[in-house]
Structure formats: structure tokens, C-alpha cells
Structure 1
Amino acid sequence: MARIDLRGTELSAARLRSALPRGGVDVDTVVPKVRPIVDAVAERGAEAALEFGESFDGVRPAQVRVPTAQLDSALEELPSDIRTALEVAIDRARAVHADQCRTDSTTTLAPGATVTERWVPVERVGLYVPGGNAVYPSSVVMNVVPAQTAGVESLVIASPPQAQSGPYQGLPHPTILAAARLLGVDEVWAVGGAQAVALLAYGGVDTDGGELAPVDMITGPGNIYVTAAKRICRSQVGIDAEAGPTEIAILADHTADPVHVAADLISQAEHDEMAASVLVTTSPELADATDSELAKQLETTVHRERVTAALSGKQSATVLVDDLDAGIRTVNAYAAEHLEIQTVDARDVARRIRSAGAIFVGAYSPVSLGDYCAGSNHVLPTAGCARHSSGLSVQTFLRGVHVVDYDEAALKDVSGYVITLANAENLPSHGEAVRRRFET
């Protein structure tokens, strides 16, 4: 990996943001290509979505909605070890997300004057599960569990169909179907890419005449075309975020094991060639040892070409800093999707982190654990968005609604203030709406 030496440098926020490696993608460049896809699906629904899928991927399923029998069959044929692992992941995710639930709260401001914040789940949600370089049943878990926990009543999963000539017969990967069924989801659409996002947003009629109801919100990661479609459709539906390529940052000192550090950097680089792997360390010796270990581990890495491209890309680097305080400032400025802390007193260091999608503390909390079985959610903010945004959670699927309940006496008590402020804003009719209630 490239090296960036920040030792002896003034680590201002502006300096750090310009000096740290950052790859990512320019969504604006593909929006003009994606907009006609969205427009066509908005106008012609499922027929257009299936046409685009056939054009781009050479796959055209007989219908969009996967038959229930296929979901049942996928679960029945799921290998027992995978089913058990998924069940563990689901149980742990449900336990963590159950503690995120919100309760209504009522504030009494005066006799007869209350404001209640009521938490209402989104009614219908579309969950996008990507295909591409890997199969992601874990993303089914991470999207479905918080939505179900929030009380979302209607869920649909959209995932790209696989080649019709292969064993999957134009359906999404069977492990995706099995995970959906295991979670109690019975609506899965065999459609991917920008056309899937558009169909979720606008709905349509399936080839068998069945309704493909539009959703109120779309969540889940995808490639740049999926992200562009989410950007275009967010005037029609809510979205969780515009996800970019995955990221790992590791803050490490001389106590870190280079074998662990190298393995964790490789694990994120395995996702795709644009994945970012960043090591921030106070120890040049650890940096050297990690480079040697990377070379050694790459010899037996299955996806070696992809990993090598990611580690050698402009988005990945080893960053040398003077001390742990400088390291903390650096990773806070970088705001990684995933941040590992491999230092002395790692728990104390973790408490000083303000910007990260998720924080993994110590040598035995690798990012891979969070991807599957930690109980945390792995749909997290990328591209520095962890400075201001959170990952997917129960809260994503809830809306806080204020219920204002004043009686006559309570309104009269503040009526003068309302009229004064309305006049100060040159909106006198606002005040009149209150005054006329008390005319004699």
C-alpha cells in the first residue's frame, strides 16, 4: 500500500481531509445514463424493468415476483450449516435491534397543554440486496431485522436474477431466497440494478397481472447505478443513504499483530477493486511488518487480483502519525465506515472516537464479525458520511410525529405570544387564526 507520512504535520481538519486517501465514485457522472431508465420504469413499470435486465445482464425472468414455492424450496434445500449460521446472525441482530426501539413520550407544558412524540413505522419498505462479486444473505438479515423490529408491516426484497442457463433459472440466488423465507419475508422481486430501484419507487403490474405495489422507502447498498437511481427517486420515496465503496480503517500502535492487521485490510479489499483499506499507525515498524504480511497473505488469497487492485488504489494507504492523539484526530477526520482499534487501552481509545460507522474494539473484534454475527448492523455510512450520519437501524424505519393537544385555556394562555411572533414575522394571519378563537 502507499504511504502517507503525517508526522510533524499540523493536523487541522482541512489538512487531514485533503491528505487522507479517498476513492469513491462520482455518482453525478452516471445520473444522465440512469435517468432514462428510471423514467421508462416509471412509465411502463415491470415490462420496462424486465427489458433493461435482459439488455444489461442477459436475464429475463418469467415474472418479477418470485413464486412462494421457490422461496420454500430454497429454504428446504439450504445446507444445514448455512441455515444454522444465518439463524445465529438473525438472533443476535434481533437482540441488538430490539434495544433500539423507541417509546412515545408526552411533555406537559401547562394544564391542558401537551405535546406527544409518537413513533410511527414506515408502512412499506423496499430492501435492495445486491448481486455482483458475491452473494449477500447477510444483507437480507441486516435490512429485514431492523425494519421488522420497527414494526414495518410490508416488506419486499429486490435482488438481481441469476443466469437462466445456470442452476438458478433466472431467479435471485437461492441463499438470498432462503434468508428471506427464514425471516418470514414472502415478497421477493427478481430484478436488480437501477431498474429495481425505479420499480420499487413507482410500482407496476407483473407479467401475471399481479400488483407490484410501490414502497415508501428504499434501503440497502448497491453499485453506482443503484446509487444514482436512489438519488433520482428520493423525491418519490425515502432512501437510507447513497452508499459508496466499502471502507476499513485500522488505528494501531506497536502492540498490534501485523498478521491480524493485514488479514483485516485484505478482508475489506475482497469486496471490490474500489474498496478502501487504510492503516493509521504510530509505528513504522508495524507498517513495515504489515506490508510484509500483506505480500505473504496475498499469495493464498482467493480473490487476489481484486484485492491487489484495491490495496494499490488511491483509496488505500498506510498513514504514519506522531502519537495516539494524532491518530485519533486522523481517524475522526477520515470517518470510516468500519474502524478497528488495535492499541493499548483500546476501549478507552474507542470512547474518544466521534466519527465512524461502527467501531471494532481490540484484537478479537474484527470487521468480519460485524459483517455477520456481532449483532450490529453492517449497512453503514461511507465516504466520510459517518461524520454526520448513522448506519441502518430501527430508527431508520421510524418517523417521529408530534401530536399537539391544547385545550381552550392552554391556548389562551400563550395566545399573546403567538400573535406577537406572527406579527414580528409579518405573518399576521397566523395571529388572527388564534385571536378569532377568543372573540366575544
Structure 2
Amino acid sequence: MKIEYVDTSRPLTLKRYGEDGNQALVTESVRTIIQDVRQRGDEAVFAYTKTFDGADLTDLFVSADEVRSAYERVDCDVVTAIQKAAKNIREYHGHQQQKSWMMTREDGTMLGQKVTPLDSAGIYVPGGTAAYPSTILMDTIPALVAGVERIVMASPPDENGQLHPAVLVAAAELGIQTIVKAGGAQAIAVLAYGTESLEPVDKIVGPGNQFVAAAKREVYGHVDIDMIAGPSEIVVLADESARADYIAADLLSQAEHDVQASAILVTNSESLATQVREQVERQLQGLPRETIARQAIADYGAIYVTDSIKQAVDVVNTLAPEHLEVLTEQPFEWLGSIKHAGAIFLGEYSAEAVGDYFAGTNHVLPTNGTARFSSPLSVDDFMKKSSVIHYSKKALVDNSQHITALARVEGFEAHARAVEIRKRKERDDDE
């Protein structure tokens, strides 16, 4: 793991995911799949599922029997963990609910905002050989809290046409009844455009590989999406009081996700930097996903040494990471200075894994520097807002001159006349 000394006289050199990648072939392939699903519906989905997942399906949906069987195959401790995590996530997101509101003015004008949940949402869950019940909880619970009535889940099956039992249990615990056995671009197409077996949804959320990300980008505008997420990231901001073994463990917790995952330490302690580098190498050995984590550390891992913690905070704000751990002697002291981070973990016991699974905050977070302008998935992502306007007679008459002046300076005479005809009508009535 390389150590780099930050030089304030020149910009920080960053290696962002995807900057040197060629997405043209992926985009072309995704467009072909989406168009095929729109034209052939279920038949196309079955064909792609056979090609990409090795499953020969005749039914698009998970059956009630499969869900019942899943409970028999999942350890009771896992079911309990899912239930408790769901409770924590629901409690946290309950504080994000917004209400409609109205304001009035002395002239009788009433203005407001009507807050309405989306009618439907699609939850994409990566699958195949892996299981991500936490993704279901994080993506679905904000929608439920918002009041979304129809939720459809899609996830790729294994070669036997089955979804992982823990995934089915998590879905069942949240009351998801429609579960589509499809992954990749074909699943995004099903959710966005529907087939003869399924009505389309209004919004699609959930992580996935480059084909899923490209498909979400293609359907955006016809439906809404949460974000285009890249590989996982962690930045640890630490001073000399931090434990090197904790830091190394947390860096590897993200590096094991993907060969393109990013794991970075920013510190003002040269001694800590050296210790962490040694700990990373020691903890890598024997890790079940050692090959993946080692590649991620080699390509997207770094240790930045700064002159001070204040300078280290500046580096963090430049990185704008998905996950940020603050392992300093007084972590809350620096919270106000941190401008750009998807989730901020304060103190040595706030391991990033706590947020991934159980604390209650959402783990769907902005990546690849987009924390500069975007936020974690929330209840607000499943709500839409309508402006409400009631203008009184007095308000129209008193303000007509200002309205028509703005309309005419923009060249819209009909706009101006739409106001003036009402003003004349009121004047004629008064006479």
C-alpha cells in the first residue's frame, strides 16, 4: 500500500473509478437487451436468464412455496438479525418523513407544497452466487415509510432458477409479494417498461454491475432512478491516537467488495501510516477474498500523510468519499469541517460495517466523488412534491402590472393577456 506525502502546492492526484474505461460496448449491449425485452417481453427475459444465469425458467416470479421453503433453510439467528436490522432502519427513516404544508398572505394568497408518495418502485438486488438481504432492507424500507403502495423486487436466480433463501426471507419480512427472477439489464428493462406479466414501476433503485448501471442510465427519464453507483469506497481520517489494526480491518472491509473498490487512509502521523501499511499486509493473508482485496489495495488503495489534521480534512473533502471514518482523539471536533461524505462514522467503535448492516442509516450512498452534490438514499427519494397556488382577486389585481411586465419582456404576450383579461373583468364588474 503506497504512502504519499501531500504537497499543498499542487493538486491531489486522484484515481477515480471509470476514468480510463470504455463503456461504448457495454452501452451498445445494454440497449440491445432493453429493446429486445420491450419487443418480446417475458420470452426475451427467459432467454437472457438462460444465457447469463444458466437457469431455464417458465415463470417470471418467485412462488409462495419458494418463500415458505426459504424460512426452513435460513438459520434462526439470521432471521432475527434481519428483523432487528429492519426495525432499526425503519426507526431511523421515520424521522425523514415530510408533510404537506400551506402558507397564507394578507392579500388572500395561499401557497403550499403537496407531498405525495410514488405509486410504485422497483428494487434491484444483485444475486446469483451471492446474497444481499441488507440491500433489500436499505432499498425497500424508505419506500415503505414514504407510503409507496406497490413494490417489485428483481434479482438474478442461480442455475437452478432459485434465489438465495436469505434474500427471500428479507423480502418476505418487508411484505414484498412480487419478486421477479431476472438480473442485469433485462431486469432493469422489465421494471422500467413491464412485460405481459408485469406492470412497469415509477422508480428503480439498487446497486449492480456495469451492465445494471448502464441500463439504469438508459431508462432514466422514462422512469426515475436512485443513482449510478460505482464500486465501494472508504476513507479513514486518523491521528496518532488511532489503532492501526482497526484501520487496516476497516480498509479491507471495503477492499474485499470488488477489485475496483477504493480504500484510503488520510493521517497526520507518519508512524501510523507505516503501521497501517504493515497491518494491511498482515490481515490480507488468509482473507477468504484475499485476491480481490489485494488487487483493490494495489490499484485503488493509498495512504496520504499530511502536515496536520486540518489539512487532512481538506484532503477528505477533496476525495468526497462514500464512507468516512473519523478515528481521531476528538472525532466530533471535526464533524463541522467535513463537507463532502456519504456517511460519516465517528469514533473507534463506529466501524463502517455497523452502518452497512444494522445501525439504521442507509448504506445506499453516493460514490466516485458524487458526495459533493448528492445524498444517501432516503424517504425523500420515494416522494414527489407538487406546488399549490391559490391567488385571490386582490392579489391578481394588485400584482398584474408586475406579472405582465415580466411576461412581455420574455416575449409571451398571451401570458400577459391571460392576466389582463381577468383584471378587466374585475374592473368591469366593479363599474
With structure 2 as the length reference, what TM-score do the two structures score?
Answer: 0.95
Task: Measure the CA separation in 2 of the matches of 1:104 and 1:334.
Answer: 37
8 Å CA contact 1:72, 1:181 repeated in 2: no
Q: What does residue 172 of structure 2 align with?
A: 181
Q: What does residue 294 of structure 1 align with?
A: 280
Q: What does residue 3 of structure 1 align with?
A: 3
For residue 27 of structure 1, report the CA deviation from its aligned partner.
7.1
- Quick one: which amino acid aligns to residue 5 of structure 1? Y
Task: Measure the CA separation in 1 of the matches of 2:349 and 2:123.
Answer: 31
2:383 to 372, 383, 398: 398
Q: Would you say 1:249 and 2:235 are equivalent positions?
A: yes
Q: What does residue 234 of structure 1 align with?
A: 220
For residue 28 of structure 1, report the CA deviation from its aligned partner.
3.3
- CA spacing shift, 1:109–1:362, aligned 2, 3 Å: same
Task: Measure the CA separation in 2 of the matches of 1:60 and 1:98.
Answer: 41
> 3-state DSSP class of the match of 2:52?
helix
Single out whichever of 344-353 and 366-375 deviates more from structure 2: 344-353
Alignment of 1:349-368 (within 5 A): 349-368=334-353
- CA spacing shift, 1:318–1:300, aligned 2, 3 Å: same
> 3-state DSSP class of the match of 1:110?
coil
Q: Would you say 1:328 and 2:319 are equivalent positions?
A: no
- Quick one: which amino acid aligns to residue 62 of structure 2? V
Task: Measure the CA separation in 2 of the matches of 1:226 and 1:35.
Answer: 11
Task: Measure the CA separation in 1 of the matches of 2:187 and 2:242.
Answer: 43
Q: What does residue 167 of structure 1 align with?
A: none
The CA deviation string for residues 261-298 of structure 1, in whole angstroms up to 9 with x for no partner, is 00001111111111111111111111110111111111
Q: Would you say 1:48 and 2:44 are equivalent positions?
A: yes
- Quick one: which amino acid aligns to residue 271 of structure 1? H
Task: State, as a whole percentage, how many aligned pairs show the same letter.
Answer: 40
The CA deviation string for residues 183-224 of structure 1, in whole angstroms up to 9 with x for no partner, is 11111111000110011000002xxxxx30100000011110
Q: What does residue 426 of structure 1 align with?
A: 411
Q: Would you say 1:388 and 2:373 are equivalent positions?
A: yes
Task: Measure the CA separation in 1 of the matches of 2:45 and 2:333.
Answer: 51
Task: Measure the CA separation in 1 of the matches of 2:18 and 2:238.
Answer: 24
The CA deviation string for residues 115-136 of structure 1, in whole angstroms up to 9 with x for no partner, is 1111111111001011256310
1:214 to 196, 200, 205: 200
The unaligned stretches of length 5 or more in structure 2 are none
Q: What does residue 149 of structure 1 align with?
A: 145
Alignment of 1:4-403 (within 5 A): 4-6=4-6, 8-10=7-9, 15-16=11-12, 19-24=13-18, 26=21, 28-29=23-24, 30-131=26-127, 134-164=130-160, 170-205=161-196, 211-313=197-299, 315-403=300-388
Task: Measure the CA separation in 2 of the matches of 1:368 and 1:52.
Answer: 34
For residue 76 of structure 1, report the CA deviation from its aligned partner.
4.4
> 3-state DSSP class of the match of 1:204?
coil
The CA deviation string for residues 297-341 of structure 1, in whole angstroms up to 9 with x for no partner, is 11231111111111111x221111111111111111111000100
- CA spacing shift, 1:132–1:265, aligned 2, 3 Å: farther
Task: Measure the CA separation in 2 of the matches of 1:219 and 1:323.
Answer: 39
Task: Measure the CA separation in 2 of the matches of 1:414 and 1:63.
Answer: 62
The unaligned stretches of length 5 or more in structure 1 are 165-169, 206-210
For residue 69 of structure 1, report the CA deviation from its aligned partner.
2.5
- Quick one: which amino acid aligns to residue 9 of structure 1? T
Task: Measure the CA separation in 2 of the matches of 1:158 and 1:90.
Answer: 19
Task: Measure the CA separation in 2 of the matches of 1:261 and 1:77.
Answer: 35
The CA RMSD over aligned residues, in Å, is 1.4
8 Å CA contact 2:267, 2:306 repeated in 1: yes
The CA deviation string for residues 44-96 of structure 1, in whole angstroms up to 9 with x for no partner, is 12211221121122123221111122223323442110011111110000010
8 Å CA contact 2:153, 2:180 repeated in 1: yes
- CA spacing shift, 1:376–1:84, aligned 2, 3 Å: same
> 3-state DSSP class of the match of 1:184?
coil
Task: Measure the CA separation in 1 of the matches of 2:237 and 2:128.
Answer: 30
Task: Measure the CA separation in 2 of the matches of 1:88 and 1:303.
Answer: 28
Q: What does residue 437 of structure 1 align with?
A: 422
How many residues matched?
423
- Quick one: which amino acid aligns to residue 152 of structure 2? V
